[in-house]
Structure 1
Amino acid sequence: MKNIQAALLALALSASAAGAQADPHHKHRVCNTCGKVTNVYVTEQNGKGGAAGVIVGGLAGGLLGNQVGSGTGKSLATVAGAVGGAYAGKHIEGRMNKVRTWNVKVRFDNGKTDTFYFRDNPRMQNGDRVRRTDRTIVRS
């Protein structure tokens, strides 16, 4: 008797499961915050040059400009050297302070895509499953 009840229960459960799969109104729930990493790449940008670069560059340019010419020409060369050196110093300092950004592109399960930016390596790879939390993503 128990075997017959178990068989009938198994038959009823399999029939209801088959009916749920065949039902066109049965909707698959999509996680809007879940997705897959599709691309990870690093970009570099020059940092900002500060006062140190301007001062050192200006002094070096002024000293070099002072070596050129005599009289009024020497004074003009010194000023031009200081201005040019300050400008160059600021940009050189900016190149020395490069800023890396890790860009992680994600395709969400609902079909939307987005890119997330990290200052430190997030240690994510193509194919990693992730979940959006607040304004960032974490592995799921």
Structure 2
Amino acid sequence: MTIRATLLALALTTTMAGANADPHHKKRVCHDCGKVTSVRVTEQDGRGGAAGVVLGGVAGGLLGNQVGSGTGRSLATVAGAVGGAYAGKHIEGKINKVRTWTVKVRYDNGHTGSFQFRNDPGMHKGDRVRRADGSLRRA
């Protein structure tokens, strides 16, 4: 009876070892799948356009025209217009801030990647994602 039990145990052990050594049972890794490691939002000043330049120039010119008389008034008007145009462009840039979401990913194969979005992608640290068409999507 013990020989039979020993043979049975040996047969089961050999069968199990053979199943684990089978090269057709390799674990498949998705090279486009991964996990979000960080999401960072940054703000940058937008670009000031013609509206800011024109409005700032007009306002600066009107203020400069209030200073002095004669040639001094003309110089103050021109200086006010130039300074107002410069300030107007920068003020418009501050008003039109641009947000960027940077999402960093660690893929299942160990590689890392980074993606930028102009709108909130709705992803958070730890989310499972998949790279598709040059962007990220939730998995």
Same fold flag (TM > 0.5): yes
Please, which runs of 5 or more residues in structure 1 have no aligned partner?
Answer: 1-7
CA separation of 1:69/1:20 partners in 2, compared to 1, >3 Å: closer, same or farther? farther
Is 1:136 aligned to 2:135, yes or no? Answer: yes
- Per the normalisation by structure 2, the TM-score is 0.83
With over 3 angstroms needed to count, the CA separation of the structure-2 counterparts of 1:113 and 1:80, relative to structure 1, is same
- Residues 137, 15 of structure 1: CA spacing in aligned structure 2 closer, same or farther, 3 A cutoff? farther
* Aligned pairs (5 A) from 1:74-85: 74-85=73-84
- Aligned residue pairs: how many? 130
- Where structure 2 has 5 or more consecutive residues not aligned to the other structure, the ranges are 1-7
User: Taking every aligned residue pair, what percent have the same amino acid on both sides?
Assistant: 72
Q: Deviations over 1:36-55 (max 9, x none)?
A: 00001111111111111111
Corresponding position of 2:71: 72
Measure how far apart 1:25 and its partner are. 9.8
- Secondary structure (helix, strand or coil) at the match of 1:64 reads helix
**After TM superposition, where is structure 1 displaced by more than 4 Å over at least 4 residues in a row?**
14-17, 22-27
| Residues 25-76 of structure 1, C-alpha deviations (whole Å, 9 max, x = no match) | 9743321111100001111111111111111100000011111122111111
- CA-CA distance at 1:109 after TM superposition: 1.2
> Is it true that 1:124 corresponds to 2:123 in the alignment?
yes
Relative to structure 1, is the Cα distance of residues 53 and 17 closer, same or farther in structure 2, using a 3 angstrom cutoff? farther
Cα distance change on mapping 1:139 and 1:15 into 2, 3 Å: farther
